[in-house]
Amino acid sequence: MRQTGFFCSALLLASAAAQAADPKLLNLVVPDAKIIAGVNVLQAKATPFGNFVLQQITANNTGLQDLIQATGFDPTQDVTEILASNGDVTSHNGILTAKGTFNTAALVAAAVKGGANPAQTYAGATLISMSKNSQAYAVAIVDGELAIAGPVAAVQAALDRRTKQNAMDPSLAVTVNQLSTTQDAWTVSVASMAGLLPAGSNAGQQLAIFQNIQQSSGGVKFGANVDVTGQAITATAKDATALGDVLKFVAQLVAMNAGKDPKAADAASILQNLTVTTAGTSVNIAITIPESTMEGLASMITTPKATSAAAGKKALR
C-alpha cells in the first residue's frame, strides 16, 4: 500500500502561530497528557511575522499547490488553530488536532486515491485510516470543522470523549489557559526532562543539568518584535541556580566567539537581549528578537529545497 502522509503533512504546514485554546480542541486532549502545545494560527498570521512565514511556506511550494488543486484545502488559510498532546515517551497515544474548514468529501477522495482505506463513520465523524511502517494511523474529520490525526486507537478515543468534560490535570489546565490566552504559540510539559530522554542515551549524560527539570513551559508572541519566554521548574533551588548559571554561561560563550564565527555572531546578536532569572526552584528566561531578524531566520529554515516538489507530490500518493 502506498504510504499516505497526506493529512498530517497538510496540518503541520499550518503551524507557522488573545483568546484561550478552543474548548472543543481541549476536550480532545489525551487524558494522561503530559505535553501539550498549541498555535493560534488565525491570530499569528494577522501579525507581520506570521504573515511572512505563511508567504515563505507557500512560495514555490509545488506540493502545497498540488494539495490545494486536488482538494481545495489550503492549510495556510483554512486552519485557524492547532493543538497537540501526548503522554510520556513510552505512550503511543499522541494526537494532533486542528480547527478550521475542511472539505470532507474532497479530502476523503484525495486520501483514498492516494492509498488510504475507504472512509468509515465512527462516533459521528468521518474516519480515514492508513498504514505506515506497520503502524495504523487515522485522520478523523468532525462536521467539517475539526480534524484529529494520530494512531487509530488514539483518534477513536478522542472522538469518544469530545462531548465529555475534559479530564486534564487541573494544574496543567491552568497553565494551558494562561499560555493560550497570552501567546500565539506555546508549549507546556509536566513531564520531567529525565523521563523524556531515552534511557541510557548519551544526550542524557551530556545534558545532566537539564535532567533536573521537573516541568517546563514557554511561549512566543508575535508583533513588531518577537517575544519568547520560558520557565523551567527544577527539583531544588540549588538545581535552579545551577541551571540558570549554565544558561548565562552559554550566552557568554557565544558572545566570546562572535568575532570568530559568522554564525556565532548572528546568535550573539540575538542572545544579547536574553535575560535569565531564578526564584526558588524556578528558572525564567525572556528574549526579545526584532521581527526583521526573525524573518532572516525563517528564510533560512523555510527556503524550498530541490526536493520540496517531490516530497509534496509523494504526500498525495
Tell me the pLDDT band of 301, cut-offs 50, 70 and 90.
Answer: low
User: Could you tell me if 216 and 137 lie in one domain?
Assistant: no
Whether 177 and 206 share a structural domain: yes
Q: End-to-end distance of the chain based on CA atoms, in angstroms? A: 10
Whether residue 20 is found in the same domain as residue 153: yes
Domain region containing 155: 6-167
Cβ 138 vs Cβ 155: under 8 Å: yes
Q: Assess if residue 244 is contained within a domain.
A: yes
Check if the beta carbon of residue 172 is closer than 8 Å to that of residue 190: yes
Residues 151 and 183 reside in one and the same domain: no
In a domain, 147, yes or no: yes
Query: Within this chain, do residues 196 and 233 fall inside the same structural domain, yes or no?
Result: yes
Q: What is the pLDDT of residue 1?
A: 42
Quick check: 200 and 181 in contact, CB under 8 A?
no
Residues 179 and 163 in one domain: no
Answer yes or no: is 234 within a domain.
Answer: yes
One domain for residues 139 and 192: no
Indicate the residue among 145, 167, 189 that finishes a domain: 167
Asked if residue 1 is part of any domain, the answer here is: no
Q: What is the pTM of this model?
A: 0.80
More confident residue, 152 or 254: 152
At 16-56, the pLDDT tens digits run 335 678 888 988 998 888 899 999 998 888 888 888 888 88
List the one residue out of 258, 277, 261, 260 whose CA is nearest residue 269: 258
Q: How many structural domains does the chain have?
A: 2
Closest CA to 49 of 270, 303, 266, 294: 294
What is the pLDDT of the chain when averaged over all its residues?
A: 82
Q: How far apart are CA 108 and CA 304, in angstroms?
A: 28
- Rounded to an integer, the average pLDDT of 98-118 is 92
Percentage with pLDDT > 90 across the chain: 42
Whether residue 312 lies inside any domain: the answer is no
Question: Within this chain, do residues 104 and 175 fall inside the same structural domain, yes or no?
Answer: no
* Separation of alpha carbons 303 and 291, rounded Å: 18
> Mean per-residue pLDDT for 145-153?
95
Instruction: Say if residue 113 is in the same domain as residue 240.
Output: no
Contact between residue 129 and residue 141 where contact means Cβ atoms under 8 Å apart: no
Residue pointed to by grid coordinates 503551524:
15
152 with 21, same domain? yes
3-state secondary structure of 123: coil
On whether both 11 and 157 belong to a single domain, the answer is: yes
Same domain, 265 and 187: yes
For residue range 50-106, what is the model confidence (pLDDT) as tens digits? 888 888 888 777 888 888 888 888 888 899 999 999 986 666 789 999 999 999 999
Residue 54 domain flag:
yes
Has residue 309 been placed in a domain? Answer: no
